A and B are shown apart, each in its own frame.
Chain A
Amino acid sequence: MNRCGHWQLVMMLTLLIAVPARADKRGQEIIEKLDRLQTAAADQYFVFDMTTYQEGKSPTTMTLEVYIKGTRLRRVKFLAPGDLKGTRMLVRALDQMYIYLPAYRRVRRIASHVRDQGFMGSAYSYDEMAIVTYADVFDCDLAAESDSHYQLKCRRRPGQSFHYEVMEMDIRKDNHHPDQLRFFNAKGQKLKTDYRNDYHCRDDGRTCTPYTMKLVDHSRGDLYTVMKLKDWKVNTGIKDSFFTVRALQRDR
């Protein structure tokens, strides 16, 4: 068994013998702390490869460059594959997206209310791509606790349109970040599992991010997407004007 295998075994055993905890405010405190940590940086820059694997088809890989500022503003640029290279997206709100199509040399504004479809055929839906903070979407209880992990069981808050009714999250105690999220529908059927591994931290450990993420869509024949981080920067001082249509069009 390789090191990763050992680690997973230890993780599983730890979770199995975890002491069941009664639901209380602690769950909500834990998720709020996670939200604070995830939004601690003023801005972040990522470059990652996003590969989707589907049985019977060859894997497809996209390379994306992403800038995030605060909890709302995002700029995405496709670096690969060739057909999409140069395509840029600006997200200013959950349903406000601008896309620059290099082959047409123009920006199109798309106000989308289609949230549950896979982003570019990947396992990630627009909902999953967009969510930054969880406490405003879910009410969480601490379902179990071990020496290394909190296990939260979260229910979608009334009025929220996030696709999944229930979410379970295993949060590591060492960096207070999740290494597994499981999404369920109202009937308790597990729809997706999100694995987050290989955390790196910056800014004196205040901001951490997983270098490998894997999302498995169980309903679509276990189609899965792996996101491998290639570059990551924190607090680069990027301006708000970067997140405008003008900047998007000129790629500034």
Chain B
Amino acid sequence: MMKAFSRWLTRRHNAWLVISVVVLVAGWSVLRATQVENDDDILAFLPQDNPDVETFRQVNRLFGSLDLALVGIESDDVYRPDFLRRLQEATRELKETRGINHVLTMSNVVDFAPDPRGGVVTTPLVYRIPANRREVAELRARVQSKEHVLGRLVSRDGRAVLLYCFLAYGSDPLTMAGRIRKVVREHFPGERKYWGGGPFVSTYIYESTRSDIHRLTPWAVAVVVLILLLAFRDIIGVGLVLLSTGVGILFSLAVMSVLGVRFNIVLGSMPVILFAVGSAYGIHILARYYALARRLPGPQAVRRTVTEAAPVVIAAGLTTAVGLLSFLAMDIAPLRSFGLFTSVGILATLLLAVTFIPAVLYVARLRRDQGGIGVLRAACRRLALTSRRHRAAWAAALALLALAGAAFTGRVRTSMDTTSFYSAGSPPARAEQFMRRHFGGSLFVQVYLQADLGQPAMLRLVQRLADRVSLLEQVSDVMQVSEAIAQANEAFVGQRRIPDTPQQVALLHSLLASDPAVEQLITRDRRRALLHFKLRPAAAEQVEQVLEKIEKLTREQVPAAVKLVTRSQAGEAGRRLWREQLRLRLSALAARRGLAPQAVAASLPALEEKIPPDRDEIERRLAHWLASAECAVDLGSLDRRLPATLARILASAGPPAGEDELRDLLRRQLGERADEELVEDLLLSLQQPLEQFWQEAQAGARARAFLARSGWQVAGPARARLERDISMALLENESPTLALPTAAGEAGAMPVVARVTGLPVMHRGLSASATSNQLRSLVFALVFVLLVMAWYFRSWRVGLLVSSPTMFTLLVIYGGMGLLGVRLDIGTAMLASLVLGAGVDYAVHLASAWQARPGQGLDDAAARAAAETGPAIWINAVCVAVGFLILTLGESRPLKNVGGLTAAAMLVAAAATFLLLPLLARRESYRNPEPEEDEPLPAGEANTAAGPARR
């Protein structure tokens, strides 16, 4: 077939036809290639069908976790008026920036405090910029007392703040990252700034990879060209080869454009790969032509080149294409695109090498005197002969190396963390360090819950899980919906706790629902919630340990189904759960303040004691409330002393009994000063606060007793706050209902689904995906490369022999990864198939040239084949290695890993070819049946198809 084609091609009009078609295709490709759109969706790199990754995606869709941009600012003192003023201005400007839905900073977070006139006063936390030292100290003290602000929006040491920017739906993260940077830099030119969160991290990964590719690709191509020029000293020939490679790249891009496939950052490395790998095909054709053209007329030299060299080149090219096509077995869409379209580029380059280049050679009648690459040729010959002559030593050495490789391959770490995506010292890594330094960590594990979260009992279940996990030493902070609801309850009712009825939960949630910070905790339908646990460690192994603990605790604390029971229905199991709930709550409150949670169990009996409430406190609070604007009746207008009098009487009357008794009491006390309507209005207004004050006084007394027994050393306002929190925990635990674990099918059972998710879980999913992708694509590539080799050499055994250097290479490279601690990730998972496909080319060329002269034995075959193919193989290996090595000079971590390892692999593959093939060869010839020749060739040139041009 090749002969017929070679004859067809060496007709003038056919050669011109081929050239014309290529020119037209190239022109069309240029036009189409410029229309390829970029795809900057980093989430597209997440594997499909992985349950961990699917949960992560779902959670992100529901809660927009990746749409939160975090800006950290470090300063000597963030309470300085000048700093606060700039923070206020930056907050306002960010809020007014298109694409930002909401901004939360220390300056605008809403703070509420009791108003002396009644109710609460709500202000931004930094409402007025402090004007003097006293005001600065007051502000500092106020902020220090806000647990939900400290360690989240401002660091405990007052040297750093964190700005939360919630992006509007559909905002482009790249654009938004740019806008946020601009505003913050404008207001804080002198401070150190840190950029974290999804939009900044994805922007960094995308931008650094794109910038590396844009910056380094021209250099890689230039170096490849330089090496080729130095090796072949033939500008026209090298130009022709590069032209056909360039058309191959453009054609591949044009096909992408036609199919509507977008250009992703992995495809950005395609030009380097095609230039480094694809140019070899043209070089082999060209070299063979120059060798033949020294002795044969042009048309005949072209025909012989096509007949002899093209099949070897096609076989070699097919293995590379198959290696790349094996990416189709992966579950990551952009990698599949990369494999498919790089393979299209390889096939196009291959096709051009065996059609376009010979056509141009025929038409232009290029001729070159062959120079010598004598030193390289001699070195290759010596290398192959060494392997033949010291077989035992080499066999032992290579076997040892392979064994060591196999042993270290087992140590390749598959656990992934952020260092898989960016290097130490990069902006996201610096932001992580900043977060760890000032805000207790940067990594979050989340628990995704599906349940009826409108039920207070379910919110307490959420609280219980949060409390239990927060007791882990490695967990530095917890954010969850019960806390937000409790905070709202405090603002509207004065009690920081989960309310008692579903109607109260629904009301509070409705008032909060549109707050983007709350939207990250619970969906509007209250069917799904997300708990955020901030982790102290960042290293993959430690994170995985915490992750396992959180998963275990989630399984323990969240049953598959619950039923709501009242106190009377709860039984012993329910009472135990109530006690456990309280123990966890109190322990969590202690741990959050750095107090020993172990003291809780020993102090619990103090809560059983009957301690009378402080009636003076009740009287004082009642008097204040009755005189406040919240009281529906203006008692002061009836009698100035009436609020105080009534308060004293109510406090001394004991806990409120029934409505009628209270009405009677009010009637008696107000007497003729009030009509029936006024009494009713006062009764309606008073009932709830009166009940609340008594409850709180009773809980406060128990809290004081508990605190006294705990031995915790807390004093001043901090002790008052702790006492208040404990009394709220006691009130919360007196809730009327409980979510008791039950069997899923039981009557009244409510299903609960809990899944642990977050970046660490996604990293685990990615690790699993990288491992399975590696295996799948490797098996795919191995099978198909073997098939191609067996077909080409007409023998399975030779197919295996030819594949052996690449398999050895894989062992060495993966062993090296294990030894050096390089992790298996998305990038390195591409390595095996790439190396298998491209590396086997060398053995194909060497085996195709393998033929001993009659009676000269295998040494002669090794020496001749090495001498003839060696220079081209090494030049190609060096080209590929240098091309990929240049990618390691960039910032992008995945590119660095792939670049460095591929470079090493190609050099190892070339060396292994010259050592292993001569060592394992058992036949004097592995070449295909002799093509029918137009005329005899000089001895030594008949069976090489891959030798470089001799000058």
Contacts and interface: CB of A to CB of B under 8 A. Distances in A.
A123 to B, nearest CB: 11
Contacts of B628: 109
B76 interface: no
Interface stretch (A3-11, A69-77, A218-226): A218-226
B101 A220 contact: yes
Contact of B97 (A56, A101, A219, A246): A219
A220 B516 CA distance: 11
Given A221-B171, A249-B632, A105 B99 contact: no
Contacts of B168: 55, 220-221, 223
B228 to A, nearest CB: 52
A218 B471 CA distance: 44
B669 interface: no
Contacts of A189: 96
B127 interface: yes
Given A105-B688, A249-B685, A250-B681, A55 B119 contact: no
A113 B504 contact: no
A12 interface: no
B115 interface: yes
Nearest to B513: A121
A2 B602 CA distance: 77
B507 A103 contact: yes
A17 interface: no
Interface in A39-77: 52, 54-57, 60
Contacts of A84: 507, 510-511
Contacts of B689: 106
B684 A249 contact: yes
Interface in A171-204: 185, 189, 191
Contacts of B513: 121
A141 B98 CA distance: 28
Q: Which of B117, B168, B504, B628 has the most CB of A within 10 A?
A: B168
B492 A108 contact: yes
Interface residues of A, number: 46
Nearest to A96: B629
B899 to A, nearest CB: 38
B123 interface: yes
B493 A245 contact: no
B654 to A, nearest CB: 22
Contacts, number: 136
A137 B115 CA distance: 28
Interface in B591-631: 628-631
A110 B120 contact: yes
Interface string B118-140: 11111110010000000000000
A220 to B, nearest CB: 5
Nearest to A189: B96
Contact of B492 (A83, A101, A249): A101
A229 to B, nearest CB: 22
Q: Which of A84, A107, A116, A250 has the most CB of B within 10 A?
A: A107
A120 interface: yes
B501 interface: yes
Contacts of A106: 493, 685, 688-689
A107 B101 contact: no
B142 to A, nearest CB: 15
B510 A83 contact: yes
A237 to B, nearest CB: 21
Nearest to B118: A109
Given A106-B689, A250-B684, A185 B122 contact: no
B503 interface: yes
Interface residues of B, number: 51
B336 interface: no
B101 A110 contact: no
B110 interface: yes
A110 B122 contact: yes
B633 interface: yes
Contacts of A107: 630, 632, 685
A111 B630 contact: no
Given A103-B507, A104-B688, A121-B514, A221 B170 contact: yes
A99 interface: yes
Contacts of B504: 101, 103-104
A246 B632 contact: yes
Q: Which of A56, A60, A223, A246 has the most CB of B within 10 A?
A: A246
A114 interface: yes
A112 B122 contact: yes
Nearest to B686: A106
Given A108-B120, A109-B629, A245-B630, A103 B506 contact: yes
A113 B506 contact: no
Nearest to A184: B96
Contacts of B684: 105, 249-250
B830 to A, nearest CB: 34
B347 interface: no
Contact of A99 (B96, B492, B503, B688): B492
Given A109-B115, A191-B96, A114 B110 contact: yes
B511 A120 contact: yes
Contacts of A223: 101, 168
Contacts of A98: 119, 629-630
Contacts of B492: 99, 101, 104, 108
A87 B121 contact: no
Interface string B477-510: 0000000000000011100000101011011011
Interface string B671-691: 000000000010011011100
A114 B124 CA distance: 6
A20 interface: no
A220 B166 CA distance: 10
A72 to B, nearest CB: 16
Interface string B84-101: 000000000001111111
Contacts of B630: 98, 107-109, 245
A245 to B, nearest CB: 5
B563 to A, nearest CB: 24
Contacts of A219: 95-100
A214 B517 CA distance: 26
A185 B183 CA distance: 15
A38 B825 CA distance: 66
Q: Which of B95, B510, B684 has the most CB of A within 10 A?
A: B510
B593 to A, nearest CB: 29
A108 B633 contact: no
A114 B119 contact: no
Nearest to A191: B96
Contacts of A112: 121-123
A99 B633 CA distance: 16
Contacts of A102: 503, 507
Given A102-B507, A223-B168, A108 B119 contact: yes
A101 B681 contact: no
A183 to B, nearest CB: 10
Given A104-B493, A111-B115, A249 B169 contact: no
Contacts of A110: 119-122, 491
Contacts of A249: 632, 681, 684-685
B851 to A, nearest CB: 68
Q: Which of A87, A102, A221 has the most CB of B within 10 A?
A: A221
Contacts of B170: 55-56, 221
A118 interface: yes
Nearest to A78: B510
Interface string A119-147: 01110000000000000000000000000
Question: What 3 pairs across the A-B complex have the smallest Cβ distances?
Answer: A121-B514, A109-B119, A221-B168
27 contacts: A52-B514, A57-B169, A83-B510, A99-B492, A102-B507, A104-B507, A106-B689, A107-B630, A109-B120, A109-B628, A110-B121, A110-B122, A110-B491, A111-B119, A112-B122, A112-B123, A113-B122, A113-B123, A114-B122, A114-B124, A185-B96, A219-B96, A220-B102, A220-B168, A221-B169, A221-B171, A248-B632
Given A185-B96, A249-B632, 5 more contacts: A52-B514, A56-B170, A98-B630, A109-B115, A111-B122
